[in-house]
Amino acid sequence: MSTPIEFFFDFASPYGYIATYRIDDIGARHGREVAWRPYLMGAGFKITGRKPLVEHPMVNEYAYQDLQRTACLYDVPFTLPDPFPVATIAACRAYYWMLDQDAGAAKQLARDLYDAYFAQGRNIANANEVIDIAEAGGIDRDALGAALQDPVIKQRVRDVTDKALERNIFGSPMVIVDGEPFWGVDHLDQVERWLETGGW
């Protein structure tokens, strides 16, 4: 059996958000499962010295234009939220708590959180907002509220992030196909070509 495609992203990443609309279809076309792996990309910024797009003069203006264009290309609803970016610790904790119970539900929760932030402008840095979004998708709010404060879940997110950094995961989205890394939503076509040909 083929190993899963690994899809790393941060919930504050607009390009990661756009990738969620494509990555599972790419996997399905090639008979590959896709393992969604949110992590805290900000921890990587401390190592690479990078900063969020909004903190780069000139680059931020281009990035906003590019995001609008790329979202339109793939028919993805998109509005740059305010505030942007935000801390995504609560969203990550919610995802991994749900993953331990139901992988499909965890993936849907990730989509719901992403859509809430980049299509509806809801602030997912707020734990109560995360709980509200999850409850609307059928998740028990009291159980999730407790999970967000659970030391085991907190450590899980730290461990996931640390292991991602150890593997040189530094951006969002980053897709790993059989050990081969691809960074950026603009490289998803290369991901598909790689899956078709086995590499080049």
What is the value of pTM for the model shown? 0.93
Rounded Cα–Cα distance for residues 85 and 101 (Å): 29
Rounded Cα–Cα distance for residues 191 and 193 (Å): 5
Q: Looking at the domain covering 5-197, what would its CATH class be?
A: alpha beta
Which residues have C-beta within 8 Å of that of residue 166, sequence separation ≥ 6? none
**Average pLDDT per block of 10 residues along the chain, 200 residues long:** 91 98 98 97 72 75 93 96 95 98 97 98 98 98 98 97 94 96 96 94
- Tell me which amino acid residue 22 is: R
Rounded Cα–Cα distance for residues 194 and 192 (Å): 5
Side by side, the strands of the sheet bearing 180-183 are 34-38, 5-9, 174-177, 180-183
- What's the confidence (pLDDT) of residue 20? 98
- What's the confidence (pLDDT) of residue 1? 53
- What's the confidence (pLDDT) of residue 57? 78
Rounded Cα–Cα distance for residues 32 and 149 (Å): 34
In eight-state DSSP terms, residue 2 is P
Ramachandran angles phi, psi of 27, nearest 5°: -60, -45
Residue 93: how many CA atoms within 13 Å on its side-chain side?
A: 25
Token pair recorded at residue 72: 């339109």
